[in-house]
Amino acid sequence: MSVQLNKETDVAIILRIADLIEKGSQGAKQVTGMYFVEDGVCAIGACLKAVGIDREKSMAWNFSLMSALDLKTWPRVEVPDGHEPFAYSGTTAPLIDVIIHMNDKLGWNFEKIVLWLRDTAAAMVTPETA
């Protein structure tokens, strides 16, 4: 669950990130530790690829991940227990940290990350936000 006040916005951001990962990962090898490596991307790199940012652009001195993805902030989400050694296990964390952890440390494939994002967004929808 998000701990921010605007759950509707958080849900929209989470679903947008899921869609971007799905779009940007098509035909790409999944990698860890870097946004881009030759023919591969990590989950965050897939988001960037989906909005037209390539490796070269992401390395520019004035590159901003937040601006590239048109975000003012990353929503905080609950991190399920059992995500050790992730420091946030059982608490909340910025969404970007959770995605990087799932990609790099847990070795989740793109599809599993996208599914988790969509499930997390669905769990945040309450009668007030529906």
Looking at residues 56-76, what average pLDDT do you find?
78
Write out the two tokens for 48: 């960037």
17-21, 33-37, 70-74, 103-107: which has the highest mean pLDDT? Answer: 17-21
* Residue 49 C-beta-side C-alpha neighbours within 13 Å: 24
Contact 93, 76 (CB under 8 A): yes
Its pTM stands at: 0.84
> How far is CA 52 from its chain centroid?
17
For the chain, give percent helix, strand, coil, nearest 5: 45, 10, 45
pLDDT at 2: 38
* Residue percentage of the chain with pLDDT more than 90: 43
Distance CA 130, CA 127 (A): 5
Listed range (53-57, 68-72, 82-86) with the worst mean pLDDT: 82-86
User: How many Cβ atoms from other residues are within 10 Å of residue 60's Cβ?
Assistant: 9
